[in-house]
Amino acid sequence: MEATLEEQLTTVEIAKELGLLSEEYDQIKEVMGRAPNFTELSMYSVMWSEHCSYKNSIKWLKTLPKEGERMLAAAGEENAGLIDIGDGLACAFKIESHNHPSAIEPYQGAATGVGGIHRDIFTMGARPIATLNSLRFGNIDSDRTKWLIKGIVKGIGDYGNSFGIPTVGGEVYFDDCYNVNPLVNAMSVGIVKKDKTISATSYGEGNPVYIVGAATGKDGIHGATFASGDLTEDSADDLPAVQVGDPFQEKLLLEATQEAMGLDCMIGMQDMGAAGITCSTAEMSAKGEHGMIIHLDRVPTRQTNMEPFEMLLSESQERMLIVVKKGREQEIESVFEKWDIHCAIIGEVTKEQRLKYYMHDELVADVSAESLVLGGGTPVYDRDYEPAKYLEKIDAFDSSKVDIPENLVEVARSLVSNPNIASKHWVIEQYDSMVGTRNMVTNNPSDAALVTIKGTKKAIAMTTDCNSRYVHADPKKGTMIAVAEAARNVVCSGGEPAAITNCLNFGNPYNPEVYWQFVGAIQGMSEACRKFETPVTGGNVSFYNQSSDEGPVYPTPVIGMVGILNDSSKHMTLHFKNEGDLIYLIGKPSNDIGCSEYLYNYHNLKHSPAPEFDLEEEFALQNSIKDLIDQSLINSAHDISEGGLFIALIESAMVNTYGFKITTDQNFRKDAYLFGEAQSRVIVSISPDKEESLVSYLESNSCSYSKIGDVTRKYISIDDENFDSINEYKELYNTSLKNLIESQPKKK
């Protein structure tokens, strides 16, 4: 297989075209002891891409806290994170991005993102029970944004609804920085018995290797490479890199693999995601310290005359690689035949730790498994970083120069209709949230989504959180806030935060300012996760979210958190329950308006500091909320986030169409008191007969608090000023986003 000098010269150019650095090509030659052929070079190009190798991020990812008493799988060692939730059960969960594919083909890009994340869950033996997503789009007035959101939401809905897993939560944000490069992050959560999990490994010389699921086609070839570069005007030419999904095929694959795992004849199983057969054969072999012989001509295909590199790099969806105990072939094949799923032996496990791929008995590639994988022979880089120049504008911000508007009712209405705050009902109604009958929050909303674990009293709380504007202003503090808000949402819902997964969306890592954002985010995440004892179970890094025209997106480290309710009857909802209930603010009022929706969109001031945040105060607040819920002292709890206190009150009031009457603290700017987004604050409502017990608890635990008002019938009063009826805000809240998305394109 030795290449000629002419072939070597050609291969050097090809390596560059495939995104490999010259020093990486030299490293490949050194590892192989010769020049790679085209097929081998193609394999290295995808496995050493940022998307697969994390070569520019792994140094910092290793600093994240990964230890915890609930951890059942080391972070990054399996297809998804796995934690012990008691009663002999485990929860598998993970979040991943599908940003680049969604930017050029929104429907299939988003749909296959959902399919891929579910496969990561059920390859571990778990049955998915819930989906969440975190979506970022550009200016809502843009025709492109409307095209993207319609395609992406439909793709998520069609795939998830057909697959039969409820979408129970998520977030949607709009900002000009995402005009070219939207972010599509999908999270899946599943349940499995602790002793019934399966690993992504391969061992046992002579054990057969199967490919199961859909036939292999040419879709998705070099998808990992495509995801490891900036979006350009020519990105649409890479459309073949976008995979095509089939949720009905995936449903069959789920049921077939669940049944097959009951036979106890599988050594290991892995989803064929990025880099397809190459990735699954390499990672399973490296983990099991064995090798494989693979016969590519035995792979079921849906297109004729596919080249070896096309088969190795294809990212066709709904496929798995399975290693089975020798002698149990008939049992496994009968299961997949029953479900009408392709199940073909394509090779066998070898003792030698090499991967040898044949096409009609011709050896087309011979590589070391260890050299291809993260944690093995892939390159690791330590990139330069420096503080962003835009910090000068943030440091120059002076809130005293921001005038308080005379008409705060106008501000209130503006915020309620802001697409980042208004109801996402237009999105949510396209998702099936009730299939499986586990969802607890459809009619009883809480800050986090909750799903029951049937056959037990338990429930799982889950949420995705990140305010990228905060992270842009201060990467470390902003990411700490993202972790804290996720934990606060879980706590306000009655849960105990357990662990996180993350999806780290950033620009080009070769840009020192972008890498500074990334490093700060990792540092902030580490500090917050240690404080809340929520280890990082794994996740996804998505660099290169930028374009030549628009530059990088805001740094967006999305936190996917799960928490546990040992008693689902302790579920705490966010809405007011009774007229006459008292409203208390737990936490400190503030003059802070930094990075608020109020400042950013109403005043059009784009550079300001991240909101005030103190990790110790946040931790103490959350412990207090846990106790108040446990002692049944409060009727509702809702954290204060985007839009500030006023929006939290509106969201608590709208569910049952109540109003509220409050008095602001005259020691603070009225706009900051109502619309500022200082952290570590929760509003609770209580029955009047529990006020004494509540105050006694808060005083004895040195909690900051203030009684701000009470729940009224329908009208809103602030400092005795009429702020209109709750029905008017409810109408604005429920219709604003729909009206913006469905409005006719502007005439040019």
For residue 256, what are its two tokens? 């077939």
Which stretches does DSSP call E strand in 629-740? 636-639, 659-662, 682-686, 705-712, 715-718, 721-725
Q: What is the pTM of this model?
A: 0.94
pLDDT digits 0-9 by tens, 373-411 = 988 899 999 999 999 999 999 999 999 999 999 999 999
Which pLDDT tens digit goes with each residue over 208-243? 999 999 999 987 675 444 444 554 555 445 545 566
* Residue with more model confidence, 436 or 179: 179
Query: Would you state the pLDDT for residue 435?
Result: 75
Beta carbons of 242 and 557 less than 8 angstroms apart: no
Examine the pLDDT at 9 and tell me if it is beyond 80.
no
Q: Are 733 and 423 in contact (CB under 8 A)?
A: yes
Considering only CA atoms, which of 42, 193, 35, 61 is closest in space to residue 125? 193
Return the H-helix or E-strand segment holding 211: strand 208-213
Mean pLDDT, the chain, integer: 93
Beta bridge partners of 556: 505
pLDDT tens-place string over residues 170-204: 999 999 999 999 999 999 999 999 999 999 999 99
| Residue 98 falls in the annotated catalytic set | yes
The CA-CA-CA angle for residues 340, 342, 346, to 5°, reads: 155
- The active-site residue, picked from 51, 100, 290, 571, is 51
**Residue 74: half-sphere exposure toward Cβ, Cα within 13 Å:** 4
pLDDT value at 606 more than 90: yes
Q: How confident is the model at residue 3 (pLDDT cuts 50, 70, 90)?
A: low
- Give CA separation, 630 vs 236, 264, 496, 532, 623, in Å: 54, 42, 11, 19, 11
Helices (H), 655-702: 670-675, 691-700
Closest C-alpha to 495, from 463, 461, 464, 457? 461
C-alpha span between 335 and 252 (Å, rounded) = 11
**What is the structure's pLDDT at 11?**
73
State the Cα–Cα distance between residues 405 and 410, nearest whole angstrom. 9
Which residue is associated with the tokens 């204060």? 640
Alpha carbon distances (Å) from 296 to 269, 319, 385, 666? 19, 15, 43, 74
Residue 98: partners with Cβ closer than 8 Å, 6 or more residues away: 109, 110, 112, 113, 116, 184, 185, 186
Owner of token pair 């449903």: 251
98, 295, 472, 575: the catalytic one is 98
Q: Which residue has the tokens 């005293």?
A: 400
| Sequence-distant (≥ 6) Cβ neighbours of residue 578 within 8 angstroms | 635, 687, 711
Amino acid at 272: M
Sheet with 705-712: list strands edge to edge.
636-639, 682-686, 582-586, 705-712, 659-662, 715-718, 721-725
Q: Is 295 a catalytic residue?
A: no
pLDDT tens per residue across span 696-742? 999 999 999 999 999 999 999 999 999 999 999 999 999 999 999 99
Q: How far is CA 359 from CA 11, 36, 311, 323, 364, in A?
A: 21, 17, 10, 20, 7
In angstroms, rounded to a whole number, what is the distance separating the alpha carbons of residues 530 and 520?
16
